[in-house]
Amino acid sequence: QVQLVESGGGLVQAGGSLRLSCAASGRTFSSYIMGWFRQAPGKEREFVAAISWSDGTDYTDSVKGRFTISRDNALNTVYLQMNSLKPEETALYYCAAGAVRLIFRTPMRYDYWGQGTQVTVSS
């Protein structure tokens, strides 16, 4: 069982930055694929970024070059550094953990989810 708790969301102006954190419980954190997803009101949950146990990463095209995912296995924490934020990126951001060997962009492949942290980008 893995419990995930996100933090770091908030209100930021367009062009600004935020750093999201996701603290995980459990002794096998390092073996999980960790992902960040987001969901805006009335829209489906969408993949943002993921990182493997070997620090391989994947990003959705719209955030490449602006967002960086990283993990600290000693602290059981995964981070999402978000720069140059856009108003259309306003959403509830979720952290997820998947007991899989490869990075997937599909929410169904992730086993555990946090409650989400709200990111609001004003224009």
pLDDT of residue 31: 87
d(CA 78, CA 55): 11
Taking the CB of residue 119, how many other CB atoms lie within 10 A of it? 22
Where in 16-61 does DSSP place strands (E)? Answer: 18-24, 33-39, 46-51, 57-59
Contact by Cβ (8 Å): 38, 22: no
Pick out the chain residues at pLDDT < 70: none
Tokens of 24: 């995980």
Q: Which two tokens stand for residue 62?
A: 């719209």
Tokens of 54: 């070997």
What's the rounded Cα separation, in Å, for the pair 121 and 111? 29
Give first-to-last CA distance, the chain, whole Å. Answer: 40
pLDDT (tens digit per residue) in 86-111: 999 999 999 999 998 899 999 999 99
Measured between alpha carbons, how far is residue 33 from residues 12, 40, 49, 100 in Å? 28, 23, 11, 6
pLDDT in the model for residue 30: 83
pLDDT value, residue 26: 78
Residue 31's SS3 state is: helix
